[in-house]
C-alpha cells in the first residue's frame, strides 16, 4: 500500500506549495505513529520512566521523532535527543543515574559577559570560542553581554554580524537568544554600584534549575566546555547521591579554570596534590569562568542588598565590612561572594590541572581592570598567569578516569588555601557568621530559632528586621 501511495502521480512536485517530500513525511507520520503511540502510553503508565533517550540524528525516521517528541511532552517525560556521533560526544551520560537524567531538559544555563571598558580583542576572542562550542548536550544558553558606555569600533562591527545561537543552529526552533545592554555613562563607578549592577544582570526564573555562567572577557573556552558544565550540574545537583547527601546545599559554583594566585592576588596558589590529578573543593569563589547555581545567586543578591542598606544606615562602617581580602584586579562583587561562602560554608568546585587546561584559558595579555578600579590600577603592573591552548578532546579524555569525582573524593580548602576537613569548614563558617552578626549588631537578644539560616540573609542582619 505504501509503495502505491508513493507512486501516486497526483503529487509529482507537491501540493499547494508543499513539497512532495514533506507530504510523504506527514503521511508516514499519520500512518505509522499510531502503531508506536499506544505502546509508549503503556510504558509510561506502568514503568514510569525518568527519561527517554532517542537517536535524533539523520538515521532516525522523522515521523518517529515527531511522534516521540509529542508523546514525551504529553507525558512530561524528559526527552534526551542524541546527536550524531553521540557515542563520543555524549558518552558521559552513561555515568548519570535516573535522577540526574530526569532533570535533563529542566536545567537552564544562561551566560553573562561583562565587556571591558576598553579593548575589543578579549571580548571578540571569547565570543568566537562560544560560537565554536558544542551545545548538543541541551538547548543553546541565552547570552547577555553588558557593554560599557564607550564601545570601540571593532566591537561594534563584530556585533553587527554576530549570530547567537551560532549560525549552524539558527533555525525556527532556536530563536535568537542574545541580549545586549549598553550602560549609561558615569563619572565614576563605586564598588557597591558595580556589584549591584552585576547582580541585576541575571535572575533565575526557577532557582532550582536556572543557573548562570559568568565569563571574564579574557576567557577563551574549549568546544566541550558546555558538556562539562551540563555533566557537572546534573551530577552534583540532581543525582540520587547529591540529594541524599545534600550536595546542592553547599555548592556555590563550578569553575572552568584553575587560578594561579590566591584571592589577594599576591600569593601563588598551589592546588592540593594527591594520588593523581583530581578536582577539589575551595571555599574561595572565582570570577574568570564560573557557573553560579540559581539558589546561591539569589542568596548573593540578598546579601548584597542588605549590605548596601546597612551601609546607608551605619556610618562609619566597622572595619569588618571595609577590610578587603580580594585583590582589586578582580571585580568588586567577588568580595561579596567570598563573604557569602565564608558565612555559609559554601564551596566552589575546581577542575584538576589537566582538566582545566582542556576547558578554558585566561588571556592575561588581554586583561583590563574592572571599571570600578580602572583609574586606581592604571599603569600598575599586575601578575600574569600561565596560559595554555585549549583542546578539542572529549570529556572522557580530559577527566581523571573518564568521570567526575564525588564530593567525598575531593580535597577541601578553606578560603585562604589551607586544607581542612568538612568539620573544619563548618567550624570556620560558624565562627565567621558569629563575627558577622557582631559587626552588624542587634543579634544578641534573638533565639537560636531566629538565627536559623535563611535565604533572605535576615539571620545575619538582625537589626534590619527588628
Q: Which of 66, 82, 98 is the last residue of a domain?
A: 82
Q: Are residues 266 and 376 in the same domain?
A: yes
Q: Phi and psi for 115 in degrees, rounded to 5?
A: -70, 145
Is 90 inside any structural domain?
Answer: no
Shortest CA distance to 290 belongs to which of 298, 282, 278? 282
Is 244 inside any structural domain?
Answer: yes
Angle at Cα 394 formed by Cα 260 and Cα 262, nearest 5°?
10
Which pLDDT belongs to residue 414?
97
Which pLDDT belongs to residue 10?
43
Shortest CA distance to 268 belongs to which of 413, 384, 387? 384
Q: Are residues 408 and 270 in the same domain?
A: yes
Q: Are residues 36 and 130 in the same domain?
A: no
Q: Are residues 456 and 364 in the same domain?
A: yes
Which pLDDT belongs to residue 140?
93
Q: Are residues 188 and 329 in the same domain?
A: yes
Is 384 inside any structural domain?
Answer: yes
Which pLDDT belongs to residue 463?
64
- Give the cell for residue 340: 557569602
Is 362:219 a contact under the CB 8 Å cutoff?
A: yes
Q: Which residues does 2 contact at the CB level (< 8 Å), separation at least 6? A: 31
Which pLDDT belongs to residue 42?
54
Rounded Cα distance, 213 and 254, in Å:
9
Q: Are residues 56 and 189 in the same domain?
A: no
Please count the CA atoms within 13 angstroms of the CA of 263 that sit on its side-chain side.
Answer: 23
Which CATH number do you get for residue 301?
Answer: 3.90.550.10
Q: Are residues 78 and 113 in the same domain?
A: no
Rounded Cα distance, 395 and 401, in Å:
10
Is 184 inside any structural domain?
Answer: yes
In the chain, which residues have pLDDT < 70? 1-47, 60-61, 63, 119-120, 168-175, 187, 274-276, 379-393, 396, 463-466
Is 99 inside any structural domain?
Answer: no
Cis upstream peptide for 210 (omega within 30°): no
Cβ-based burial of 403 (10 A; exposed 0-12, middle 13-18, buried ≥19):
middle
Which pLDDT belongs to residue 2?
33
SS3 of the chain: the string is CHHHHHCCCCCCCEECCEEHHHHHHHHHHHHHHHHHHHHHHHHHHHHCCCCEEEECCCCCCHHHHHHHHHHHHHHCCCEEEECCCHHHHCHHHHHCCHHHHHCCCCCEEEEEEECCCCCCHHHHHHHHHHHCCCCCCCCCCCEEEEECCCCCHHHHHHHHHCCCCCHHHCCCCCCCCEEEEECCCCCCCCHHHHHHHHHCCCCCCCCCCEEEEEECCCEEECCCHHHHHHHHHHHHHHCHHHHHHCHHHCEEEEECCCCCECCCCCCECCCCCCCCCCCEEECCCCCCEEEECHHHHHHHHHHHHHHHHHHHHCCCCCHHHHCCCCCCCCCCHHHHHHHHHHHHCCEEEECCHHHHHCCEEECHHHCCCCHHHHHHHCCCCCCCCCCCCCCCCCHHHHCHHHCCCCHHHCCEECCCCCEECHHHHHHHHHHHHHHHHHHHCCCCCCCCCCCCCCCCCCCCCHHHHC
Q: Are residues 303 and 439 in the same domain?
A: yes
Rounded Cα distance, 212 and 253, in Å:
9
Rounded Cα distance, 419 and 412, in Å:
6
Rounded Cα distance, 62 and 25, in Å:
7
Q: Are residues 62 and 117 in the same domain?
A: no
Domain that holds residue 38: 19-82
- Residue that has been written with the C-alpha cell 572595619 in this structure: 319
- Residue that has been written with the C-alpha cell 576547558 in this structure: 359
Which pLDDT belongs to residue 47?
60
Which pLDDT belongs to residue 94?
92
Is 97 inside any structural domain?
Answer: no
- Residue that has been written with the C-alpha cell 561594534 in this structure: 156
Q: Are residues 303 and 234 in the same domain?
A: yes
In sequence order, what are the beta bridge partners of 54? 81
119: left (phi over 0), alpha (psi -120 to 50) or beta: left
The pTM is what?
0.86
Q: Are residues 67 and 180 in the same domain?
A: no
Beta strands at 419-420 and 412-413: parallel, antiparallel or unpaired: antiparallel
Shortest CA distance to 250 belongs to which of 183, 347, 342, 331? 347
Q: Are residues 450 and 345 in the same domain?
A: yes
Specify the number of domains making up the chain: 2
Is 87 inside any structural domain?
Answer: no
Is 191:372 a contact under the CB 8 Å cutoff?
A: yes
Q: What is the pLDDT of residues 135-159, one digit of tens each?
A: 999 889 999 999 988 888 889 999 9
Cβ-based burial of 208 (10 A; exposed 0-12, middle 13-18, buried ≥19):
middle
Is 141 inside any structural domain?
Answer: yes
Angle at Cα 364 formed by Cα 157 and Cα 385, nearest 5°?
160
Which pLDDT belongs to residue 228?
96
Amino acid at each position: 500500500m505504501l509503495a502505491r501511495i508513493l507512486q501516486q502521480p497526483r503529487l509529482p512536485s507537491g501540493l499547494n506549495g508543499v513539497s512532495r517530500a514533506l507530504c510523504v513525511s506527514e503521511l508516514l507520520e499519520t500512518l505509522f505513529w499510531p502503531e508506536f503511540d499506544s505502546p509508549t502510553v503503556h510504558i509510561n503508565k506502568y514503568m514510569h520512566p525518568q527519561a527517554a533517550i532517542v537517536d535524533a540524528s539523520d538515521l532516525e525516521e522523522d515521523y518517529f521523532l515527531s511522534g516521540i517528541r509529542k508523546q514525551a511532552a504529553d507525558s512530561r517525560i524528559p526527552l534526551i535527543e542524541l546527536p550524531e556521533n553521540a557515542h563520543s560526544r555524549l558518552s558521559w551520560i552513561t555515568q548519570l543515574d535516573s535522577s540526574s537524567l530526569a532533570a535533563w531538559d529542566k536545567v537552564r544555563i544562561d551566560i553573562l559577559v561583562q565587556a571591558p571598558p576598553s579593548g575589543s580583542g578579549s571580548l571578540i576572542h571569547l565570543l568566537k570560542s562560544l560560537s565554536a562550542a558544542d551545545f548538543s548536550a541541551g538547548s543553546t544558553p541565552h547570552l547577555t553581554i553588558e557593554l560599557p558606555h564607550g564601545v570601540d569600533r571593532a566591537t561594534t562591527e563584530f556585533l553587527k554580524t554576530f549570530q547567537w545561537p551560532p549560525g549552524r543552529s539558527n533555525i525556527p526552533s532556536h530563536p535568537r537568544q542574545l541580549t545586549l545592554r549598553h550602560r549609561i555613562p558615569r563619572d565614576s563607578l563605586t564598588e557597591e554600584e558595580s556589584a549591584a549592577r552585576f547582580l541585576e544582570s541575571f535572575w533565575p526564573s526557577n532557582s532550582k534549575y536556572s543557573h548562570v555562567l559568568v565569563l571574564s572577557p579574557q576567557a577563551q573556552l574549549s568546544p566541550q566546555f558546555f558538556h562539562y558544565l551540563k555533566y557537572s550540574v546534573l551530577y552534583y545537583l540532581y543525582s540520587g547521591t547529591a540529594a541524599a547527601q545534600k550536595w546542592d546545599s553547599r555548592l556555590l559554583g563550578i569553575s572552568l579554570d584553575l587560578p594561579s594566585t590566591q584571592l589577594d592576588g599576591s600569593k601563588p596558589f598551589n592546588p592540593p596534590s594527591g594520588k593523581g590529578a583530581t578536582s577539589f573543593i575551595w571555599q574561595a569563589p572565582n570570577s574568570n569562568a564560573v557557573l553560579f547555581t540559581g539558589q546561591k545567586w539569589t542568596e548573593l543578591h540578598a546579601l548584597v542588598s542588605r549590605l548596601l542598606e546597612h551601609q546607608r544606615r551605619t556610618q562609619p562602617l566597622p572595619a569588618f565590612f571595609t577590610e578587603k581580602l580580594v585583590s582589586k584586579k578582580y571585580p568588586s562583587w567577588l568580595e561579596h561572594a567570598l563573604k557569602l561562602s565564608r558565612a555559609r560554608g559554601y564551596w566552589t568546585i575546581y577542575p584538576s590541572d589537566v582538566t582545566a587546561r582542556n576547558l578554558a584559558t585566561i588571556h592575561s595579555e588581554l586583561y583590563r581592570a574592572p571599571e570600578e578600579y580602572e583609574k586606581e590600577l592604571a599603569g600598575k603592573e599586575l601578575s600574569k598567569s600561565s596560559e595554555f591552548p585549549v583542546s578539542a578532546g572529549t570529556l572522557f579524555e580530559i577527566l581523571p578516569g573518564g568521570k567526575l569525582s564525588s564530593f567525598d573524593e575531593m580535597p577541601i580548602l578553606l578560603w585562604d588555601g589551607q586544607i581542612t576537613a568538612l568539620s573544619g569548614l563548618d567550624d570556620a563558617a560558624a565562627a565567621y557568621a558569629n563575627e558577622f552578626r557582631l559587626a552588624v549588631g542587634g543579634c544578641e537578644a534573638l533565639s537560636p530559632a531566629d538565627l536559623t539560616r535563611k535565604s533572605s540573609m535576615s539571620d545575619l542582619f538582625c537589626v534590619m528586621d527588628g
